[in-house]
Structure 1
C-alpha cells in the first residue's frame, strides 16, 4: 500500500510539530486548505500541476499572498520530510510561491518611543530594559535573547552578535545600552544575559509587550500589518533614526548585520538631504581646486 499525503502529514505532526512555535496554525492550515484537496493523494502522484492548482484554489478564496505562501510552504515541508524519511523517492514537485512583501516601514517617533518605554517601565523593568536595549543597538529579538555574558565587553563598550541569521558583528553600546548591560551582568548567574524571572531563556516578545503597545494606542486603526508596531519596530526605529541623523547607509547596514546593503536601502528616503549635501560638497571641492591653481 502506497503512502499518501495524509500519512506523511501524520508523521510530520508527530515528529516535527512539537518543536514548532505555533503548531496550531499549521494544523489549521492543513485541515482547511491542504487535506481536502491533497490529503488522500498518493505521495508519488503529487505533481507540479497539483501544487499550482492548490495555489489557485487558495487565491480564489481571497487569501493574502502571505497566507497562500504559508499553505504552500507547509505542504513543501511535509513532502521534503517524506522524501527524507523515505516514504517515497521524490522528486519534489515545483512550487511557484507567491511574492510576499513583508518589508515593515513603521518606526517610532521620539514621542512614541517615550510613551511606550514609560508604559513598559510601569509594567515591567525587564521589558523596559530589553526594549531600550533593542532601540539602542538595533539587535533582532532573537539576537538579544541569545546574548551571553561573554558577549558583552564593558571596557570596549561593545556587544558581540554571533550565531545570527545573517553576519556576525560587533555593535557599539551607547550610554543607555551600556548601563543596562552592566546591570544585568551584575545580576547574572551564568545563564543568558536576559532571562525570565525564573531564570529561563526568553523565547520571544510576548503578551506584555503587545499589551503595552495596545495601551499606548500605537496600532489604533491600522489595518496593514506592516505598519503595526511590534517588537521588530524597535530595530526599524534604530535604523531610521540613524539615517535621519546623517549616518551613512553603509554604516547602518553594518550595524544591522545586513548581508546585502540593498536591504538597508529601504531607509535611504529618510535622508534625501545627504545626496544634495554630497553633490554640493563636490561642487565646492572642484571650485576650491580651480581657485588654488590661479
Structure 2
C-alpha cells in the first residue's frame, strides 16, 4: 500500500490499496500534542477527499472544546455480572433445571452490590466484602456459603460453556465455618406445645403438621396440592425444589382425619396450606410463625445463636431426629428426607438408641 499526501487538503492522505481501491486517512494532533492518524474509509464505500477533510475539521473542532473525537471507539463492550447471571438462569431453564429460589437469592443478595460491575473488575476482595456484608445482616454461615457458591457457579458457567476468558474471582475465597455438630430439634413435649399454640390458626396448623409429619422444607410444604394427597395410603407427593423431582412423605391416622375434612371442599389444584388456588407466600409463614417460635423457644437467645435458636427449618430437623430416636434405620431416614447423600443423614445417627450391645450378646448363640 502506498500513501500519498493530498495536494488539495491539509492533513489528508490517499492510500492506494492492492485491490485498486483507495482509502482516505487524516492526521491531527490530540490535546496532548501527539500526532494521531485516523482511517476515514474507502472510496468504494463513498468516501471522498472532501469528506475526509471535513472529518478532520470536525475532529479538530472537538479537540478545541476538550472532547476526544475517538472516544466512541475507545469504549469497549463491558460484560457485567448481570449479563452472566442472565445466561446462567436462561440456560438452566432450558435444561429444565431452573430454580426460582436461586434466582431470587441472586437478585436479593448479589445483584445490588456486584450485578452492574464489569466482570473483569470483580476481585477476590469484592467477594470477601460480600461475605462481610451478609454476616452484618445476620445471615447464617451456611446461607452465606450457599450465596458465594451460587456466584461462583454463575461465573464458572460462562467460563466453561461460553468460553469466557477469566479467572473466577471466587477461587480461593474461604468458606465460613459452619457448626453442624448439634442440630436443634423439638422434643415431643415441645411439639405438643407448638401444635397447641397454633391449633386455631388453620394456615399455620396445616403447615406445621405437614412439616413435622413429612420433614419437607418450607417451599415443599407450601407446594402440596390436594391432588398430591393420597388418603388411602396416608401418603403425600412432595416436590423437592432444591434438588428437583418429587418424593413420598407420610402422615399418621390422627392427622389423616383432620386432613380429610380440610381438603374435602378443595379443588384438585388447590393448595393444602391456605386452602385456595393461590399458594401461600413463604414470607407469610415466616412472619407469623417466627413470632410464635421466638416466644415459645428462643427467649434469651442471641439472634446469631444459630445452633440453639428454633426456626422454621427446625421442624425438618425435628422430623429426622425423632425418627432416629425411635430407632428408624438411617437409610429409611435418608429416603424420607430425600437426601441425595447419606452423609447428610448421618448427623442424626448419634441420636439412635444403642442397640449394639444386645446384638453382640446374641451373635453366637
TM-score (norm 1): 0.72
What is the aligned residue count?
268
User: 1:110-145 CA distances to partner (integer Å, 9 max, x unpaired)?
Assistant: 2222222222224x1221122012112212222211
Name the structure 2 match of 1:95: 170
Name the structure 2 match of 1:138: 215
Name the structure 1 match of 2:295: 215
Correspondence list, 1:271-290, <5 A: 271-276=352-357, 280-286=358-364, 288=365
Correspondence list, 1:44-83, <5 A: 44=120, 50-51=123-124, 53-55=125-127, 63=135, 65=141, 69=145, 72-73=148-149, 76=152, 79=155
| 2:226/2:267 contact within 8 Å kept | no
Which sits farther off after the overlay, 135-144 or 172-181?
172-181
Between Structure 1 and Structure 2, whose CA radius of gyration is higher? 2
Name the structure 2 match of 1:237: 318
Distance 1:259 1:72, change over 3 A: closer
Alpha-carbon distance between aligned partners in 1 of 2:242 and 2:195, rounded to the nearest angstrom: 27
Alpha-carbon distance between aligned partners in 1 of 2:349 and 2:361, rounded to the nearest angstrom: 22
Deviation at 1:54, TM superposition (A): 3.3
Structure 1 gap segments, 5+ residues each: 289-294
Structure with more strand by fraction:
2
Alpha-carbon distance between aligned partners in 1 of 2:274 and 2:206, rounded to the nearest angstrom: 13
Alpha-carbon distance between aligned partners in 1 of 2:226 and 2:132, rounded to the nearest angstrom: 51
Deviation at 1:209, TM superposition (A): 0.7
User: 1:210-259 CA distances to partner (integer Å, 9 max, x unpaired)?
Assistant: 11112324353143224321111111111111111111111111111112
Structure with more helix by fraction:
1
Correspondence list, 1:90-239, <5 A: 90-91=165-166, 93=168, 95-96=170-171, 97-100=173-176, 101=178, 103=180, 105-122=183-200, 124-162=201-239, 164-166=241-243, 168-196=246-274, 199-204=277-282, 205-222=285-302, 223-239=304-320
TM-score (norm 2): 0.60
